[in-house]
Amino acid sequence: MRKDRPLVVGLGGSAGGVEALQHFFEAVPDDSGLSFVVVMHLAPDETSHLSEVLRDHTSMPVTQVTGGTVIEPDHVYVTAPGRTLLIENTTLVPHKLEGPEERRSPIDRFFRSLAAASVEPMGVVVSGAGTDGSVGLRFIMEAGGVIAAQDPSEATHSSMPRSAIETSRVDLVLPVADLARRLSEQRVVLRRLHRLEAPDELDEDEEEILGSIFEEVRVETGHDFSEYKQSTMLRRVRRRLRVHQISSLEAYRDFLREHPSEAMALQKDLLISVTSFFRNPDAFEFLRENVVPELLADRGPDDQIRAWSVGCATGEEAYSLAMLLLEHAESTSVRPEQIQVFASDLDGEALVIGREGRFPDAIAADVPDRYLDRFFRRNGSEYVVRNAVRDRILFTPHNLLKDPPFSNLSLITCRNLLIYLRRDLQVSVFDLFSYALNDDGYLFLGSSESADVSDDSFRAVDKTHRLYQRREGARKLPEIPEMPLSSPTFDSQMPSRVEDATEPSEAVLHRRLLEAYAPPSAIVDEDYQFVHLSNAVGRYLQHPGGMPNANIVEVVRPELRVKLRTALRQAFDGAATVQTQAVTVAFNGESAMAGTWSSRSRGSLWSRTSRRPRRRASPMKRRTYRRTDGCRS
């Protein structure tokens, strides 16, 4: 923890929140070294006595902020009626709430400001009605801070903490007194984690441990983050250590092995599924005025406008893009059904939220009123995207480093994803985008990203707003991963599996007997890649569209996936026979019972592990993907 970055806890609440804050500050030590900023829903025309009330429950100075105020440790700052607070560097600045949308979301506005400030941020939502704070917490998490909510069962009004829990995947859900004690320990935790602020501060042992942490995530979740920027990944790991108050990488690796669910939590942190509607509004306005009209100009009745939102998270960006296109379509001959937006991400749970199209009413701070009125309907404390927009978007899981791209695209938006990839991977991704775009198609990047590393493929239209256009004739044949359903590369000392067609050996005859009379089976290696399949095992596999996949866990029927992954992991870790309980599987509309076995046991579906030296999986093992002329997907 750098000395110039104060630790700031932002607390937001509404109805019932004052009582929660009283209990919170009663439990906070007077010398925690933290600064506390309280933003509440207060009647704009009434005098607030919040600062006086809180002074009775803490010996820390409590100040109502009415002008620019430098943050100090062991101080409490509260907002004034009709105001929210913003942070500029380390100074609190009161901001008058002008319109109804601002008055609905003062906590979200403060949390976003807190996430962007020169501080170590933490965010807490306590009792209150509505959804304010749930969106802003996600930005604090993206900035590396810990986010928390009062246990809804303790809150007088639970809707605000419940919305935070459901929307932002908060790290801590506890009674407020327990939250106070946990957060007060953050200064000590951050001091212990000082060496994890940059990769060049790690020694060789720590680098090896960091690699084993990513391997644990890959084994447990199937996603490989080894090719991402180590500095970025280290910051996300550091955040998980803060959440669990673990002071070393080695201790966290052990924690991962003892708590398999933590691998999924870390994966979600690494994916950083944080976005918002019309993020960087000036850039989207430039897109609306200068690009969208060109995309829809001179379109015939059979032409389709296809766009791709890469790393869409929960879909706000994809919906923003669709709204821009549908709005302009009214002034042209383009029909809504000609507009197609592909929204892809690795995070399956985020995609589910995107498909549902239900967002807290705090999005009113980001979405212009004309779009809220036209493209959303109000449902209690939520806004629901209307079908006219939802029908234009296809949400789909997609790995940018492994899967073939969409094609025949007029526009690709890839914002705040490339910054997490190494430079060599960025070049490969730009080649992929160049291949996927039509002639003169556009590429829209995040505010901290640039296509300058691929200036032979893209020209800058407006560098301020990170908008680029594909150069004419710049289409390249991209490289995508080698993921065929063929046998993986084996070490040279491994025996050949090629059979003698004229005179089968006893081993071949034995295998044929097993295939004829034994239960369906598969042989896989330690990367879960197919080595051999029996004739009848295919009914237990479901291959999705796109490139073939050789990983049995990813193509086995969904009903068997969890138990199979667990059984394989246990078999490889302990070299033992593992058997699971039977699972109901639907075959052609009829249900049947199936089980999963690993190693030598027999059953309806079983897999025998092939022991061989472990190969390091790498998304950079690639082969060229060629598209047949006239065939575009």
What is the rounded CA–CA span in Å between residue 557 and residue 560?
A: 6
Mean pLDDT within 570-599: 61
List alpha helices for 222-278, DSSP H. 230-244, 249-258, 261-271
More confident residue, 524 or 296: 296
Phi, psi of 93 (to 5 degrees): -125, 120
The reply to whether CATH 3.40.50.150 applies to domain 281-480 is yes
Residue 592 has pLDDT above 70, yes or no: no
Residue 448 burial (CB < 10 Å; 0-12/13-18/19+)? Answer: exposed
Domains 7-190 and 281-480 share a fold: yes
* Cα–Cα distance measured from residue 630 to residue 600, given in angstroms and rounded to the nearest whole number: 49
* Mean pLDDT of the 453-470 span: 91
Q: What residues does each domain of the chain span?
A: 7-190, 193-271, 281-480, 506-609
What is d(CA 216, CA 219) in angstroms, rounded to the nearest whole number? 5
What is the CATH class of 7-190? alpha beta
- Residues 252, 256, 262, 268: is their CA dihedral positive or negative? positive
pLDDT for the residue 504: 53
**Residue 260: count of CB within 10 angstroms of its CB:** 15
The structure tokens listed for 221 are 């979740």
Residue with tokens 């935070």: 164
Lowest mean pLDDT segment, chosen from 28-42, 200-214, 493-507: 493-507
φ/ψ bin of 448: left (φ > 0), alpha (ψ from -120 to 50), beta (otherwise):
alpha
- What is the pLDDT at residue 531? 76
Q: How confident is the model at residue 198 (pLDDT cuts 50, 70, 90)?
A: low
From the number of C-beta atoms within 10 Å of its C-beta (0-12, 13-18, 19+), residue 603 rates as middle
pLDDT digits (tens, 9 = 90+) for 212-262: 898 889 888 888 887 788 888 888 899 999 999 998 899 999 999 999 889
Distance CA 369, CA 367 (A): 6
567 in Cβ contact with 597 (< 8 Å): yes
Total count of residues recorded for the chain = 633
Instruction: Give the 3-state secondary structure percentages of the chain, helix then strand then coil, rounded to 5.
Output: 40, 20, 40
Greatest mean pLDDT among 255-259, 524-528, 573-577, 578-582 lies in 255-259
Angle at 250 between CA 237 and CA 200, to 5 degrees: 60
SS3 call for 629:
coil
pLDDT at 187 over 80: yes
Structure tokens belonging to residue 545 = 């569209």
Query: Two tokens at 472?
Result: 């004419």
284-297: average pLDDT:
95
Point out the least confidently predicted range of 129-143, 272-286, 498-512.
498-512
Which tokens is 286 given? 């430039």
Q: Is the pLDDT confidence value at 42 over 80? A: yes
Going by the DSSP 8-state scheme, the letter that residue 556 receives in this structure is B
d(CA 121, CA 135): 15
pLDDT of residue 623: 34
Phi first, then psi: give them for residue 287, nearest 5 degrees: -60, -45
Partners of residue 578 on adjacent β-strands: 598
| Residue 3 clears pLDDT 80, i.e. is over it | no
Sign of the CA dihedral with 496 first, then 498, 501, and 506 last:
positive
CB 126 within 8 A of CB 21: yes
- Examine the pLDDT at 445 and tell me if it is beyond 80: yes
Residue 502 predicted with pLDDT over 50? no
Q: How far is it, in rounded angstroms, from Cα 520 to Cα 603?
A: 8
How big is the chain by its Cα radius of gyration, in Å? 27
Confidence (pLDDT) at 247: 86
pLDDT confidence of residue 348:
86
Average pLDDT on 264-292 reads 90
Q: Rounded mean pLDDT of 180-200?
A: 81
- Asked if pLDDT for residue 630 goes beyond 50, the answer is no
